[in-house]
Chains A and B, each alone.
Chain A
Amino acid sequence: MTPPTPRTPVTADEWSVLADLTGMLTRLLRDEYGLDDVEIGMATTFNRDLELESIDLVTLAGLLQERYGERVNFAEFLADMEFDEIIGLTVGRLVEYVVTSLQAAEAS
Chain B
Amino acid sequence: MTMVDTGSVRLHVQRIGPRQGRPATATVVLVHGLLTDSLASYYFTVAPAFAAAGLDVVMYDLRGHGRSGRPAGGYTLDDNIDDLEALLDRLAVTGPVHLVGNSYGGTVAFGYAARHPGRAASVSLVESEPATAAWAVKLGGILDRVVNQLAHNEPDAIAWITAHRGRNTARLARGAARLARETSLGRDIPASRVLTEGQLAAVRCPVLGLYGADSDLAALAPWLRSVLPDCRTVVIPGHEHSVLVEASGTVGGHILSLVEEAGRVAAEAAG
Binding site for B on A (CB under 8 A): 47-48, 51, 53-55, 57-59, 61-62, 70, 73, 75-76, 78-79, 83, 86-87
Chain B residues whose CB sits within 8 angstroms of the CB of A59 once the complex forms: 1, 67
Chain A residues whose CB sits within 8 angstroms of the CB of B16 once the complex forms: 75
- In the bound assembly, the distance between CA atoms of A61 and B42 in angstroms comes to 13
- In the bound assembly, the distance between CA atoms of A57 and B248 in angstroms comes to 18
In the complex, the answer to whether B1 meets A62 with C-beta atoms within 8 Å is yes
- Chain B nearest CB from A28 CB (Å) reads 11
Given A75-B47, A75-B48, decide whether A83 and B246 contact each other with a Cβ distance below 8 A: yes
Chain B residues whose CB sits within 8 angstroms of the CB of A79 once the complex forms: 44-49, 248
Contact of A75 among B43, B61, B167, B171 (CB under 8 A): B43
- In the bound assembly, the distance between CA atoms of A51 and B167 in angstroms comes to 10
In the complex, the answer to whether B67 meets A53 with C-beta atoms within 8 Å is no
Q: At the interface, is chain A mostly helix, strand, loop or mixed?
A: helix
Chain A residues whose CB sits within 8 angstroms of the CB of B168 once the complex forms: 47, 87
Chain A residues whose CB sits within 8 angstroms of the CB of B49 once the complex forms: 79
- Chain B nearest CB from A105 CB (Å) reads 13
Chain A residues whose CB sits within 8 angstroms of the CB of B48 once the complex forms: 73, 75-76, 79
What bracket does the count of chain B residues touching chain A fall in? 20 to 34
Chain B residues whose CB sits within 8 angstroms of the CB of A76 once the complex forms: 48
Contact of A58 among B39, B171, B172, B248 (CB under 8 A): B39
**Does B138 have its Cβ within 8 Å of any Cβ on chain A?**
no
Which B217-262 residues have C-beta < 8 A from chain A? 245-246, 248
Q: Which residue of B lies closest to A62 (CB)?
A: B1
Chain A residues whose CB sits within 8 angstroms of the CB of B66 once the complex forms: 55, 58
- In the bound assembly, the distance between CA atoms of A15 and B167 in angstroms comes to 31
- In the bound assembly, the distance between CA atoms of A59 and B67 in angstroms comes to 9
Interface string of B19-50 (1 = CB under 8 A from A): 10000000000000000001111011111110
Given A53-B175, A55-B66, A79-B49, decide whether A86 and B19 contact each other with a Cβ distance below 8 A: no
Chain B residues whose CB sits within 8 angstroms of the CB of A83 once the complex forms: 245-246
**Does B162 have its Cβ within 8 Å of any Cβ on chain A?**
no
**Does B14 have its Cβ within 8 Å of any Cβ on chain A?**
yes
Chain B residues whose CB sits within 8 angstroms of the CB of A51 once the complex forms: 171
Q: Which residue of A lies closest to B19 (CB)?
A: A70
